[in-house]
Amino acid sequence: MGKKLKVIRQQKGLMQRYVSQKLGIHNSYLCKIENGTVRPTAEIINKLYELYEIA
């Protein structure tokens, strides 16, 4: 899941810092999500979907 989220973020031209600020999380936490080191909470997933405009 993390690698797909990273690809979508990059396709939308968004920087990790911008996304992490919008989500209210640390940049390092977003990096860990994208690298598959940690699993995001349902709340974070929903916010990412909303931010990335995923239906």
Query: What is the 3-class SS of the chain, one letter each residue?
Result: CHHHHHHHHHHCCCCHHHHHHHHCCCHHHHHHHHHCCCCCCHHHHHHHHHHCCCC
pLDDT above 70 covers what percent of the chain? 100
Contact 44, 13 (CB under 8 A): no
pLDDT at 55 over 80: no
Q: How many CB atoms lie within 10 A of CB 2?
A: 17
HSE (side-chain half, CA atoms, 13 Å) at 16: 13
What's the pLDDT score for residue 53?
Answer: 93
Q: Report pLDDT digits (tens) over 5-31.
A: 999 999 999 999 999 999 999 999 999
Calculate the average pLDDT of the chain: 95
User: In order of start, what are the domains of the chain with their CATH numbers?
Assistant: 2-51 (1.10.260.40)
What's the pLDDT score for residue 54?
Answer: 87
